[in-house]
Amino acid sequence: MEITDIRNFVPTTFGDWVPKFGELWKTQISALRHRFGENIQETRMPPDYPTDVPIIYVKKESILNVLSFMKTDSTFEYNFLSDLTATDESIEPRFELVYNLFSTTKLVRIRLKVRLRDGEEAPTATAIWPGANWSEREVFDMFGIRFAGHPDLRRILMDIRYVGHPLRKDFPLKGYQIFTEPELADPALLEE
């Protein structure tokens, strides 16, 4: 019999996550709520919500403090930003910025989200994880979300002449833009 309900335990490299990490997640979320109070807007726990790891919604103004705390505090030690992406929800607030964190010491994952309105900036996480530079550039390129304080926020996947952001839900399905002439490289980018 095939199991298709997402709330059923899924075997992973480290075993079923909910039985193995459920109590740790509850302890961590309780500590976050105690430390950051109203800045933690909402939490969604597996298997109550169809997700594989807890989702913690954080206010935009506090995301850097929460990320830094979760990276360095011994209760958390989420020292690896495994992914930073976004989703277009087509409602206001339109976007959800998604931070997928992994602890290399505890071998556990967790997900933080920040809700953003269309045109709203998020603070850059490059001071906490320098590798966020590339992920934030991709989110900017695909969704048009800007990151305040980013050291080099420019397109990374699409041609610099491209108009629009392909992963927005209002982007036309046939959004072809053909460039017959090659773009000349910026000489400043070629200098050492």
Q: What is the CATH number of the domain that holds 84?
A: 3.30.460.80
> Is residue 118 domain-resident?
yes
**pTM of the full structure:** 0.87
Residue ranges in the chain assigned as alpha helix (H): 17-36, 63-72, 132-143, 187-190
Task: Indicate whether 97 belongs to any domain.
Answer: yes
Residue 81 lies in a domain: yes
The pLDDT of residue 114: 98
pLDDT at 175: 64
Which pLDDT score, from 0 to 100, does residue 110 have?
Answer: 96
For residue 100, the SS3 value is strand
Q: What is the pLDDT, as a whole number, of residue 66?
A: 98
Which residue segment(s) compose the domain that 71 sits in?
17-190
Give a yes or no: residue 144 inside a domain: yes
**Structural domains in the chain (count):** 1
Q: Is the dihedral of CA 154, 157, 162, 164 positive or negative?
A: negative
* Cα 167 to chain centroid, rounded: 15
Give me the mean pLDDT over the 134-150 stretch: 97
Q: How far apart are CA 123 and CA 29, in angstroms?
A: 22
Domain for residue 5, yes or no? no
Across the chain, what does the average pLDDT equal?
Answer: 89
Q: Are 166 and 190 in contact (CB under 8 A)?
A: no
- Inside any domain, residue 3: no
Give the model's pLDDT for residue 134. Answer: 96
On whether residue 8 sits in a domain, the answer given is: no
Q: List pLDDT tens digits, range 99-133.
A: 999 999 998 999 999 999 999 999 999 999 999 99
Q: Is the pLDDT of residue 1 over 50?
A: no
- Asked whether residue 143 is domain-assigned, the answer is yes
Asked whether the beta carbons of 151 and 94 are under 8 A apart, the reply is no
- Give dist(CA 156, CA 145) in Å, integer: 13
